[in-house]
């Protein structure tokens, strides 16, 4: 990644683990950069055509007007693309059903039942 910035860890919190469910919210993500800087509260949302996209953490004003501003976000399109590609790829890995390597049958966890 440019300027030496790289993702060193991504933790996905799937919707089943998210207490505050919204219709288009798929998961939350925590991203660590260079083993030194962490960003919590990245939301993975379902966009047009069921294409997931990221929404970075925002602060909502307490004035009751519903104004919000970004707390942190990628400044360049290249960095945004890199983060989106990495986080959505990890989310797809976590979200993909697990199958038995021998028979191909989908494995269901007790928590999913």
The CB density around residue 65, as the number of other CB atoms within 10 Å, is: 8
DSSP 3-state of 11? strand
List, in order of start, the domains of the chain with CATH numbers: 2-112 (3.30.1120.40)
Rounded to whole angstroms, the Cα distance separating 88 from 45 reads 10
Tell me what pLDDT residue 34 has.
96
Q: Is 50 left (phi over 0), alpha (psi -120 to 50) or beta?
A: left
pLDDT tens-digit map of 18-61:
555 557 899 999 999 999 999 999 999 998 888 999 999 999 88
Tell me what pLDDT residue 20 has.
53
For residue 68, the cross-strand partners are 60
pTM: 0.76
């Amino acid at each position: 990644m440019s300027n030496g910035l790289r993702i060193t860890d991504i933790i996905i919190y799937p919707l089943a683990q998210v207490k505050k469910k919204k219709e288009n919210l798929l998961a939350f993500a925590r991203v660590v950069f260079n083993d030194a800087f962490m960003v919590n509260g990245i939301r993975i949302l379902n966009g047009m055509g069921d294409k997931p996209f990221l929404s970075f953490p925002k602060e909502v004003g307490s004035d009751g007007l519903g104004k919000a501003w970004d707390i942190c976000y990628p400044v360049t399109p290249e960095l945004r693309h890199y983060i989106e590609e990495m986080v959505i790829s990890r989310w797809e890995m976590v979200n993909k059903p697990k199958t038995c390597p021998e028979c191909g049958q989908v494995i269901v966890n007790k928590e999913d039942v």
